[in-house]
Amino acid sequence: MFHTKTNAMILNLHPKNPEIRTLKSISENLKNGAVYIFPTDTVYAIIADSKSKKGIEKLQELKHADKNKPLSLLCPDISTASEFVETLPNDAFKLMKRITPGPFTFILRANRNIPRWAVVNPKAKTIGIRIPENIFLQELLKVHEGTLTCTSVFTGDEYLTDINDLDDLFGNQVEAIVDGGIAKVETSTVIDFTNEEMEILREGKGFERI
């Protein structure tokens, strides 16, 4: 299950039945402020517990990100996502029901249930919701009993897709890296529901399903 490299702990989870004991350990570490790198439906991402200020600050530090740069809230289902938004428009609900889980980011107005450090844009109070199809994240969310915050691993002008490159750059700064193989450089489709009409902000993976 585990093997170590020069920098990081690399986790190899079963591709169809991820080990629950390992996921529970990851969950506890996340709650205590640790950060991990996980594969997603698209590219690799740094993840933290949404309620952990320590974890979110570490995530931001690792990405060398402006605090106004986008973060996404990973939710296990629509019901959970609805707990963190002011309103879930009927059009948004119908679309989410039809196309999730999958590689989509839904921009909605955040309510006070989500810590201010975990929103996409603190000034606008918007949040990016993702309901991932990736089995590692799905199963982690089930045992975590809470939401996760993530940001894609992007450095310089490119996404890191190889586990060795991720290890070289972030290995000694994260709790562990979950090996998902070589990732394809595919971004999520971003759909904005903060105005009266739906707006596609980015045509990415899965766009043809909308």
Domains of the chain: 2-209 (3.90.870.10)
CA dist 81 → 71, 85, 109, 197, 206 (Å): 15, 7, 11, 20, 20
Q: What is the pLDDT of residues 180-198, one digit of tens each?
A: 999 999 999 999 999 989 9
Mean pLDDT, range 206-210, rounded to an integer: 95
Q: What is the pLDDT of residues 34-86, one digit of tens each?
A: 999 999 999 999 999 999 999 999 998 887 655 556 789 999 999 999 999 99
Q: Report the relative pairing of strands 9-11 and 45-49 from DSSP bridges.
A: unpaired
Q: Is 1 exposed, middle or buried (0-12, 13-18, 19+ CB in 10 A)?
A: exposed
For the chain, the average pLDDT equals 90
Question: Residue 98 pLDDT more than 70?
Answer: yes
pLDDT at 4: 45
Question: Residue 21 pLDDT more than 60?
Answer: yes
Contact 155, 185 (CB under 8 A): no
Question: Is the whole model's pTM more than 0.85, yes or no?
Answer: yes
Structure-block tokens of residue 200: 């596609």
Label residues 30-44 b or e (16+ Cβ within 10 Å = b): bbebbbbbbbbbbbb
Helices (H), 103-147: 135-144
The helix (H) or strand (E) run that includes residue 178 is strand 176-178
Q: Among candidates 32, 54, 28, 34, which has minimal Cα distance to 46?
A: 34
Count CB neighbours of 70 within 10 A: 16
Q: Is 129 exposed, middle or buried (0-12, 13-18, 19+ CB in 10 A)?
A: buried
- Phi and psi of 207, rounded to 5°? -55, -35
* Percentage, residues of the chain above pLDDT 70: 91
What DSSP assignment string belongs to 146-173? S-EEEEE-EETTEE---HHHHHHHHTTT
pLDDT at 2: 43
